């Protein structure tokens, strides 16, 4: 047997070596799904399948790169290079370069990123004179995006009274017109947005059977990772391409489906068996990633979902430390706790920064984390924010490059026609846009014949416009012979961009220049990489395509040894030794926007499952009692997800702040390190383990006199007990809010809440289980 095949267990081996036919692997997190896909590709190649005939679709470009790297180790780099491997978007962008002409697109079409698309929508909303509070650009964008991903074209939209009515009900009766204008403007600009890459591929494969046949014949073996998160549009593409040979292998985990809000459809998994004949179904049950405690905790929480396939996940890995739960007073404290825990682990275990990840529900939570990490001089990187290529200065440079390739690109043109300033005012640009819309010509076409165009622009301005056209045309001439790097360098110098950036001496200005330099370096690398491949004249086009589709997750810039900060959505498929899941509070995680229906809540729970299963050795769950949200300090309650984890996998550690407050612990005042000796169970009742050497210090206000053994304690029972003890009219004391009177009590089991009127902070509804109240 080949050596790499021996690195698979029996359950993994079977699907890896099943060469032909449709198959689906449904398995839990960390069970080796991605490994099976990777090895399967190597196996197919060893069996004589040509790399050119294999299509593998991954969730990120980074995942594709890693898979390719591993395959290259097995079959050799030169063969691995020929694989068609990447995200749906990048693979089909390439195909559309070849075939887009069938649909009327130029082969050098531009890819509009989200920023470009939203800008265009914003201008359409403005031009139509609509109320921008009703027609919020982002909302309009996501609505149109969801039409596209459900393959609802403009025509289909106007044939669908229900859709139109839904938009009218949402007080956006003119959505259809915006959609239509947007699609027309993109088409005229020779541009596709992200959703077009899928929608147009579908259109291509449906309308042109010969093209479909050609690609069916090409992609004899198709593999899809993270299949649970494919949307309808992606699903149809895969189904069409796989229809002829039916050599399709998809892997996924229904428990990790987290993109329903973007149109991913879990029924794609459930229907797979109906779509193909003789589908082989495989299951993998052994998790290789995480400790027993992490696997146990994750299993116990996902149990709470009603909609799920029956699946077993177990591990032979060590038991490891329990999942730690940590409470802070504020988000700032939470950040300090995380930073000091990282710092301490680094000191004691001598591990690199890259062993740590901080995962959160929303991007805005990164701020407190960053601040605390900076104070401790711990290097970190935020993933999933603006990608490098979306920064202003980078977009300025690439807008010139885009315009050289595709002068119809309206967003690029608007960006640079008067940047750096060359005396072309907004009124002129507005007039040009109106004229372009009326005449059906592009702005650039109008500019080329500005003398004969019937637009109210004075001669001085006309000359400036002509100069601009001449400038772009001179670049186009240069592009015929020069390589992308020489051209880009020349453009930054002669367009006045560098001079413009040089004017700004602030640190931000300096960074901007450095970024442009970094971009040029990137182009140089790219050009040199391309030179190895013969016959690649079009390297500027390819470079622009790569960067349009680059996400921040893909970049490998800077020092690789950093703590990773990212949203949970971005963390899918990844793994880290130590994972902090922060902001585990009701209304934040689960998000307030996702608690209206069971299915929304279940998606939040799957998100939590994804987060927890990223951890290999140690997971921390943290929450704050109050946090700044929308500029206000808001009180918060611990997330129900903490409560849902089986107690035996959890360890509640004493909050630092409370140790500071407690004079009995004054010796710890100096230490900013996470306390790892004094441990508490869920706040109402302390849990002490025999193995704890330090004598437990009891500052739990409501701690019962007789301590129970850990195994005797079950959270809901506690809450019942305490809920039973408390009645309306009781006077209580709270650590933070002081004295108060119980106004009402509601809820059952673990959810008993009391409304209390406190001396500090007024009326509050608290979950008794976590409230730490003392009767007075
Ligand atoms: P996710 O659901 O998070 O995407 P996955 O099912 O794709 O996870 P992989 O990422 O393929 O799982 O594997 C998880 C980890 O376990 C990886 O580090 C992988 O290298 C390792 N692994 C998988 N199978 C084996 C095996 N048979 N022996 C040793 N290690 C393995
Ligand atoms: Mg995976």
**Measured from the CB, is residue 252 less than 6 Å from ligand 1?**
no
Whole-number Cα distances in Å, 102 to 95, 243, 616: 12, 22, 49
Whether the Cβ atoms of residue 475 and residue 222 lie closer than 8 Å to each other: no
CA distance 519 to 485: 10
Q: Which pLDDT band, with edges at 50, 70 and 90, does 552 fall under?
A: low
CA distance 277 to 270: 14
Q: Is 597 annotated as a binding residue?
A: no
Determine the distance separating the centroid of ligand 1 and the alpha carbon of 639, expressed in angstroms.
29
Determine the distance separating the centroid of ligand 2 and the alpha carbon of 728, expressed in angstroms.
52
Nearest ligand (C-alpha, residue 289): 1
641: left (phi over 0), alpha (psi -120 to 50) or beta: alpha
Pocket test for ligand 1, best of 24, 27, 30, 250 (most atoms within 8 A of CB): 30
Can you give the pLDDT at residue 694? 32
- H or E element, residue 620: strand 615-629
**Which two tokens mark 688?**
């002490």
Residue with the smallest CA separation from ligand 1 atom 26 is 8
In the predicted structure, residue 282 carries a pLDDT above the cut 60: yes
Lowest-confidence region among 31-35, 61-65, 399-403 = 61-65
Which residue is it, tokens 């704890």? 692
**Measured from the CB, is residue 31 less than 6 Å from ligand 1?**
yes
Strands 576-581 and 221-224: unpaired
Determine the distance separating the centroid of ligand 1 and the alpha carbon of 382, expressed in angstroms.
25
**Measured from the CB, is residue 253 less than 6 Å from ligand 1?**
yes
Determine the distance separating the centroid of ligand 2 and the alpha carbon of 638, expressed in angstroms.
30
DSSP conformation letters of 625-654: EEEEETTEEEE--B-HHHHHS-GGGEEEEP
Q: Is 29 annotated as a binding residue?
A: yes
Q: Which pLDDT band, with edges at 50, 70 and 90, does 538 fall under?
A: low
Q: Is the dihedral of CA 455, 457, 458, 459 positive or negative?
A: negative
**Measured from the CB, is residue 12 less than 6 Å from ligand 1?**
yes
Q: Is 435 annotated as a binding residue?
A: no
Q: Is the dihedral of CA 437, 443, 445, 446 positive or negative?
A: positive
Strands 563-567 and 380-382: parallel
Residue with the smallest CA separation from ligand 1 atom 21 is 288
Q: Which residues contact 231 (CB under 8 A, 6 or more apart)?
A: 149, 150, 198, 259, 262, 263, 264, 265
733 three-state secondary structure: strand
Residue with the smallest CA separation from ligand 1 atom 16 is 288
Write the pLDDT tens digit of every residue in 738-765: 788 888 888 776 677 888 888 766 788 8
Neighbours of 442 (CB within 10 A): 19
Active site residues: 33-34, 225-226, 256, 614
CA distance 55 to 87: 10
**Measured from the CB, is residue 289 less than 6 Å from ligand 1?**
yes
**Measured from the CB, is residue 30 less than 6 Å from ligand 1?**
yes
Atom of ligand 1 nearest to the CA of 574: 3
Q: Is 28 annotated as a binding residue?
A: yes
Q: Write down the mean pLDDT value for the chain.
A: 86
In the predicted structure, residue 34 carries a pLDDT above the cut 90: yes
**Measured from the CB, is residue 573 less than 6 Å from ligand 1?**
yes
**Measured from the CB, is residue 40 less than 6 Å from ligand 1?**
no
**Measured from the CB, is residue 32 less than 6 Å from ligand 1?**
yes
Write the pLDDT tens digit of every residue in 297-356: 999 999 999 988 888 899 999 999 999 999 999 999 999 999 999 999 999 999 999 999
Can you give the pLDDT at residue 696? 32
b/e map 201-228, b = 16+ CB within 10 Å: bbebbeeeeebbeebbeebbbbbbbbbb
Nearest ligand (C-alpha, residue 290): 1
Determine the distance separating the centroid of ligand 1 and the alpha carbon of 32, expressed in angstroms.
3
Whether the Cβ atoms of residue 774 and residue 733 lie closer than 8 Å to each other: yes
Lowest-confidence region among 605-609, 711-715, 724-728, 737-741 = 711-715
CA distance 254 to 267: 9
% of residues, the chain, pLDDT over 90:
64
Q: Is 210 annotated as a binding residue?
A: no
Nearest ligand (C-alpha, residue 313): 1
Atom of ligand 1 nearest to the CA of 37: 11
Whether the Cβ atoms of residue 52 and residue 218 lie closer than 8 Å to each other: yes
Please tell me the total number of residues recorded for the chain in this structure: 776
Whether the bond between 590 and the residue before it is cis, its omega within 30 degrees of 0, is: yes
Can you give the pLDDT at residue 595? 83
Determine the distance separating the centroid of ligand 2 and the alpha carbon of 621, expressed in angstroms.
23
Can you give the pLDDT at residue 677? 33
Nearest ligand (C-alpha, residue 572): 1
Mean pLDDT value of segment 647-664 = 64
C-alpha dihedral over 529, 530, 532, 537, to 10 degrees? -160
Residue with the smallest CA separation from ligand 1 atom 13 is 32
Q: Is 564 annotated as a binding residue?
A: no
Determine the distance separating the centroid of ligand 2 and the alpha carbon of 59, expressed in angstroms.
9
CA distance 643 to 655: 18
C-alpha dihedral over 138, 139, 140, 143, to 10 degrees? 120
Pocket test for ligand 1, best of 8, 14, 32, 252 (most atoms within 8 A of CB): 32
Q: Is 320 annotated as a binding residue?
A: no
Q: Is 385 annotated as a binding residue?
A: no
Write the pLDDT tens digit of every residue in 659-674: 444 434 333 333 333 3
Determine the distance separating the centroid of ligand 2 and the alpha carbon of 737, expressed in angstroms.
46
Q: Which pLDDT band, with edges at 50, 70 and 90, does 571 fall under?
A: very high
Atom of ligand 1 nearest to the CA of 27: 6
For the chain, what is the total number of helices (H) and then of strands (E)?
32, 24
- pTM (two decimals): 0.79
Mean pLDDT value of segment 426-441 = 92
Whether the Cβ atoms of residue 773 and residue 726 lie closer than 8 Å to each other: yes
Can you give the pLDDT at residue 657? 47
CA angle 398, 402, 408 (to 5 degrees): 145
**Measured from the CB, is residue 288 less than 6 Å from ligand 1?**
yes
**Measured from the CB, is residue 9 less than 6 Å from ligand 1?**
yes
Can you give the pLDDT at residue 414? 95
The answer, yes or no, to whether ipTM is higher than 0.95 is: yes
Nearest ligand (C-alpha, residue 288): 1
């Amino acid at each position: 047997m080949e050596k790499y095949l021996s690195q698979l267990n029996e359950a993994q081996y079977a699907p890896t070596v099943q060469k032909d036919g449709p198959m689906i692997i449904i398995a839990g997190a960390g069970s080796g799904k991605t490994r099976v896909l990777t090895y399967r590709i190597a196996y197919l190649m060893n069996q004589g399948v040509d790399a050119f005939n294999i299509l593998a679709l991954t969730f990120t470009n980074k995942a594709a790169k890693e898979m390719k790297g591993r395959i290259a180790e097995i079959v050799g780099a030169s063969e691995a290079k020929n694989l068609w491997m990447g995200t749906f978007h990048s693979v089909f962008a390439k195909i559309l370069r070849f075939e887009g002409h069938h649909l009327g697109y130029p082969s050098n079409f531009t890819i509009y990123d989200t920023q470009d698309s939203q800008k265009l929508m914003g201008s359409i909303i403005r031009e139509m004179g609509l109320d921008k509070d009703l027609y919020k650009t982002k909302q309009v964008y996501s609505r149109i995006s969801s039409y596209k991903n459900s393959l609802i074209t403009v025509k289909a939209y106007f044939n669908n009274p229900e859709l139109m009515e839904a938009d009218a009900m949402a007080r956006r009766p003119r959505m259809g017109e915006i959609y239509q204008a947007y699609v027309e403007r993109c088409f005229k600009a020779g541009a596709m947005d992200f959703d077009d890459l899928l929608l147009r591929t579908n259109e291509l494969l449906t309308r042109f059977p010969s093209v479909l046949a050609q690609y069916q014949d090409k992609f004899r073996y198709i593999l899809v990772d993270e299949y649970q998160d494919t949307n309808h549009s992606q699903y149809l593409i895969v189904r069409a391409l796989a229809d002829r040979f039916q050599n399709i292998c998809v892997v996924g985990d229904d428990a990790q489906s987290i993109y329903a809000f973007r149109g991913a459809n879990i029924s794609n998994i459930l229907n797979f068996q109906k779509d193909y004949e003789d589908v082989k179904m495989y299951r993998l049950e052994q998790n290789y990633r995480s400790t027993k405690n992490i696997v146990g905790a994750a299993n116990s929480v996902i149990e709470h979902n009603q909609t799920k396939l029956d699946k077993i996940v177990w591990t032979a890995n060590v038991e490891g430390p329990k999942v730690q739960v940590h409470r802070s007073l504020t988000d700032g404290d939470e950040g300090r706790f995380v930073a000091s825990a990282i710092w301490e682990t680094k000191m004691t275990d001598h591990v690199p920064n890259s062993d740590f990840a901080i995962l959160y529900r929303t991007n805005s939570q990164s701020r407190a984390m960053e601040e605390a990490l900076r104070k401790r001089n711990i290097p970190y990187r935020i993933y999933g924010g603006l990608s490098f290529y979306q920064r202003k200065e980078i977009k300025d440079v690439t807008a010139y490059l885009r315009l050289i390739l595709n002068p119809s690109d309206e967003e690029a043109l608007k960006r640079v026609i008067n940047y750096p300033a060359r005396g072309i005012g907004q009124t002129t640009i507005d007039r040009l846009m109106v004229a372009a819309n009326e005449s059906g010509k592009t702005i650039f076409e109008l500019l080329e014949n500005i003398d004969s165009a019937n637009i109210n622009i004075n001669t001085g301005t006309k000359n400036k416009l002509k100069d601009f056209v001449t400038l772009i045309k001179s670049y186009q001439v240069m592009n015929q012979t020069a390589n992308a790097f020489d051209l880009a360098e020349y453009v930054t110098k002669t367009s006045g961009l560098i001079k413009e950036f040089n004017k700004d001496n602030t640190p931000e200005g300096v960074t901007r220049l450095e970024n442009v330099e970094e971009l040029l370096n990137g182009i140089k690398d790219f050009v040199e990489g391309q030179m190895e491949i013969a016959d690649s004249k079009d390297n500027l086009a390819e470079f622009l395509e790569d960067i349009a589709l680059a996400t921040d997750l893909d970049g490998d810039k800077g020092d690789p040894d950093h703590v990773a900060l990212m949203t949970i959505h971005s963390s899918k498929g990844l793994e880290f030794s130590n994972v902090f899941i922060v902001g585990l509070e009701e209304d934040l995680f689960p998000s307030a926007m996702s608690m209206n229906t069971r299915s929304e809540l279940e998606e939040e729970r799957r998100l939590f499952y994804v987060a927890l299963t990223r951890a290999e050795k140690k997971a921390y769950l943290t929450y704050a009692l109050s946090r700044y949200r929308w500029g206000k300090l808001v009180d918060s309650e611990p997330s129900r997800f903490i409560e849902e984890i089986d107690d035996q996998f959890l360890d509640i550690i004493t909050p630092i702040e409370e140790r500071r407050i407690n004079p009995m612990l004054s010796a710890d005042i100096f230490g900013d390190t996470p306390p790892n000796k004094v441990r508490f169970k869920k706040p109402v009742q302390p849990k002490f383990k025999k193995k704890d050497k330090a004598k437990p210090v009891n500052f739990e206000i409501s701690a019962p006199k007789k301590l129970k053994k850990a195994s005797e304690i079950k959270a809901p029972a506690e809450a019942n007990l305490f809920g039973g003890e408390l009645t309306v009219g009781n006077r209580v004391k709270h650590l933070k809010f002081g004295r108060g009177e119980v106004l009402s009590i509601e809820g059952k089991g673990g959810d008993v809440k009391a409304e209390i009127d406190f001396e500090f902070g007024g009326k509050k509804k608290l979950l008794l289980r976590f409230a730490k109240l003392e009767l007075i």
